[in-house]
Structure 1
Amino acid sequence: MPLPSKKLSSPRRTATQVTTALCLSLLAGCGAAPAPKNIAPVQSGGGFQAQYRDPPRQSRDMLISTRMNAETCLSGGVADTGAAGKGDGLVALALRGERLSRDDLLDIRVGDDETFNGDYVISRDGLLKMPFLPPIPAQGRTTDDIEQDLDRLLREGGFYDSAPRLSVRLVDMASVRVAVSGAVFEPHAVEVGLRPGGEIDRVRQGAIGASTEGRNLSTALRAAGGVRPDADLSRIELHRAGHRHILDLRGVFEGRHMTDIVLLAGDEIVVPSRQCFQDDLMRPGPISPPGISLFLSNLTQPATGNAPSAIGRDVREVPYGTRFMQAVVDTNCVGGARASSAHRSAVLFTRDPMTGVSVVIERSIEDQLHRADRDDYDPYLLPGDSIACYDSRVTNLAEIGRVVGGVAGVALMIP
């Protein structure tokens, strides 16, 4: 008579059931993940970049993303060919040269007259105040203008009967605070022209005629995060003393001279938007962002430390103009044994700088590497973007085996 089979004890049966359920759920996770959903019409090419749209399985079209981006552009900007605007030369005449601003240091000499000779700082109200003379307007004017006014006042005041020997020279340019808004990555008021103590050339500082490139328009745009790829460089607005000047900076990306004027305290700069993504602006330049700080997420199998993986604690710096797949390679998401490392994927988290709406896209790394039209679906990186890497299916199965083995070992230990 056969002996009755011994049933598993309740705790052990429960552990076996949990192990089986865990195995099934983990294996289900090896399937393809659903495509990321976005509010922006990314699939139809209506995102901030046409490169955000998902690549089809087969495509004969090559390099159409640039054309798709340009179709939504307003007139003007770097996409339009031709010389700079008609007002470019007029603006250069009206604003060219070193214009004085408050807190600038001047060296003034009137022959051998000890009464008027000395160093003077332009006051906060933009006036040059000298002993025994009415205040002289200095904000926004040149040293030649100051010399002419000083010559007139000295003779009108009875100090000289004939034109005295005069010298008004700029000794040191003060830093100024200007407002930058519009199609820049970080619109806010910025201070330009301020030099750290370690960067000051004492010999040049002691010489008459000291100047600095740190108070130029390009410096202010860069201090505000740089121009966005939707900026209209042909119509940069400069608001000064109640007047609006239109500047054309297209030359900076066309190998031509650009109108890089000296800024004054209280200037306001407005960068209009063309309401589109311009591929030509995605390259390093004097008014581009200095670089991109990427936020990263490591693979499922993390590195033993940040130093071996060449990844910083929080972010990684890449040059402006870097594309998504370049950063994926740079962050060690590509390579290794093909049998176990193929079929990885990478996710880009970004935000439309015009609307503020977030966008998530996912790319199969292997597919991007092998398709000929990869550039049409390889977006440029923007400041503040984040990248996450996902491991291959072989790595996922190995991870499942490790987890299941650990759970099974615990189940066998249950009496």
Structure 2
Amino acid sequence: MAGCGAVNPPDNIEPVSEGRGYQAQYRDIVSRRSGDASSLALNAQKCRPARKDGTSFAKFGSSLFLSDILSPGDLVDVRIESDDEFSGQYVVSQDGTIRLPFLSAVSVKGRSMSSIEADLAAQLLSLDYFVEKPRVSVRLLDRAPATVAVSGAVFESRAVQIGGRSGPVIDTLRQAAMGDATETRLLSNAIRAAGGIRPDADLSSVELHRSGTIHRLDLRPLMEGTDTTDIPMLAGDRVIVPSRGCFQDNLMRPGPLSPSGVNLFLSNLSAPAQGNAPSAIGKEAREVPYGTRLIQAIVGSNCAGGTLATNAGRAVVLVSADPVSGTSLAIQRDVEALLRRGDRDDFDPYLLPGDSIACYDSTVTNVADVARILGVLSVLDVALR
């Protein structure tokens, strides 16, 4: 019966048991001693100072915030007063220009409509197509998707495509109207498309690389809900989210820059269930809001509760990975012991995308199952004699 007890605690390469893993909540549960630091304090000890050199949206005052700046693939309507030769609809080329008949290419990427109108009018006048400077109107009809590179302290550093709409979404009235408004080709959506910010992100100085210029942005007000301003993105933009080198508990919550949720891999084959379906491990248990903690997943996967005498000794194993180094880790918790501690928050890890959780039966249930098997074998032995 020696092998019927709880599973042996897993080993790890990183020093997670001492509180020096990606989040201090991974550390081994110990008896509370006077002077012990909380997980929040242990996490904060590793933090590098925030750069704080990013400019807040309220103080930026830049063309970055213009909603009608153009990007390759955008569809524009150009109208010139009293003229049908040059007026028409044009697509912004991959090099960021539009080409009207008989005119040189006009650079439009990242520029305001008024400056484009002035350039077109000046070119028409200089080529003697008009005696006086004509009145020119340039209007955005439809936005194209934009490919943006996102790297740094996000869960999935990669190039993402944001914006644009599928054909069924665009109704005929909107197609006939001028102007376009989309909430998908924005900085926040680019970051979320790259998996969202990691808990170690430094939001005080997020870099936006555009046309050879680096803009440093303070995205903390956007995350905190004190500023709803967002930045329209252009094809070819690059976003870099720096890291503070520490786990920040305050970033583990839903927000405009956070992951849309957490997908978990769950296994609960504890008695009396013979599979995950009887344990009610459905979509709601596997897909949880960002900021969910281990105890919530334990309850959601039916690994807690039931008959106290037989189920109180259940154990759960969480398998995760350090999102910075990629090193896997595994920790074990005794379910009832964790639930009944007053300082449970210090040892209750936040769940990260792709985490796996396995629920193990208590010692009493294991012994009972072994005894049941031995009993069946005894009956068979008697029957075969």
Please tell me whether the aligned partners of residues 103 and 123 of structure 2 are also in contact (alpha carbons under 8 angstroms).
yes
For 1:232-311, what aligned pairs fall within 5 Å after superposition? 232-257=202-227, 260-301=230-271, 303=273, 306-311=276-281
- Correspondent of 1:322 among 276, 292, 305: 292
Read off the aligned partner of 1:286 and give its amino acid letter.
P
Cα shift at 1:161: 2.1
Residue 157 of structure 1 pairs with residue 131 of structure 2: no
For 1:149-188, what aligned pairs fall within 5 Å after superposition? 149-188=119-158
Please tell me whether the aligned partners of residues 223 and 255 of structure 2 are also in contact (alpha carbons under 8 angstroms).
yes
Do the aligned partners of residues 95 and 138 (structure 1) sit closer, same or farther apart at CA in structure 2, a change above 3 Å counting?
A: same
Q: Which runs of 5+ in 2 are unaligned?
A: none
Distance 2:187 2:278 in 1: 42
Over alpha carbons, which structure has the higher Rg? 1
Do the aligned partners of residues 64 and 139 (structure 1) sit closer, same or farther apart at CA in structure 2, a change above 3 Å counting?
A: same
Read off the aligned partner of 2:65 and give its amino acid letter.
R
Distance 1:256 1:47 in 2: 32
Segment drifting more, 92-101 vs 143-152: 92-101
Read off the aligned partner of 1:155 and give its amino acid letter.
L
Residue 207 of structure 1 pairs with residue 177 of structure 2: yes
Cα shift at 1:201: 4.2
Q: Matched residues, percent identical?
A: 52
Do the aligned partners of residues 87 and 301 (structure 1) sit closer, same or farther apart at CA in structure 2, a change above 3 Å counting?
A: closer
Please tell me whether the aligned partners of residues 317 and 357 of structure 2 are also in contact (alpha carbons under 8 angstroms).
yes
The one-character-per-residue Cα deviations of 1:99-140 (angstroms, maximum 9, x if unpaired) are: 211111111111131111111111111111001211100111
Please tell me whether the aligned partners of residues 247 and 259 of structure 1 are also in contact (alpha carbons under 8 angstroms).
no
- 1:76 aligns with 50
Q: TM-score, normalised by structure 1?
A: 0.87
Segment drifting more, 189-198 vs 278-287: 189-198
Q: Which runs of 5+ in 1 are unaligned?
A: 1-26
Distance 2:272 2:82 in 1: 76
Please tell me whether the aligned partners of residues 223 and 256 of structure 2 are also in contact (alpha carbons under 8 angstroms).
no
- 1:96 aligns with 65
Please tell me whether the aligned partners of residues 293 and 351 of structure 2 are also in contact (alpha carbons under 8 angstroms).
yes
- 1:52 aligns with 26
Cα shift at 1:308: 4.2
Cα RMSD (Å): 2.2
Cα shift at 1:60: 5.4
- Correspondent of 1:133 among 83, 100, 103: 103
Please tell me whether the aligned partners of residues 295 and 314 of structure 1 are also in contact (alpha carbons under 8 angstroms).
no
Distance 2:351 2:252 in 1: 9
Please tell me whether the aligned partners of residues 285 and 301 of structure 2 are also in contact (alpha carbons under 8 angstroms).
no
- Correspondent of 1:64 among 26, 38, 46: 38
- 1:407 aligns with 377
Q: TM-score, normalised by structure 2?
A: 0.93
Please tell me whether the aligned partners of residues 248 and 258 of structure 1 are also in contact (alpha carbons under 8 angstroms).
no
Segment drifting more, 204-213 vs 168-177: 204-213
Read off the aligned partner of 1:340 and give its amino acid letter.
T
Please tell me whether the aligned partners of residues 91 and 245 of structure 1 are also in contact (alpha carbons under 8 angstroms).
no
Please tell me whether the aligned partners of residues 76 and 141 of structure 2 are also in contact (alpha carbons under 8 angstroms).
yes
The one-character-per-residue Cα deviations of 1:282-335 (angstroms, maximum 9, x if unpaired) are: 000111111111001112336356554321389810110000110110111011
- 1:392 aligns with 362
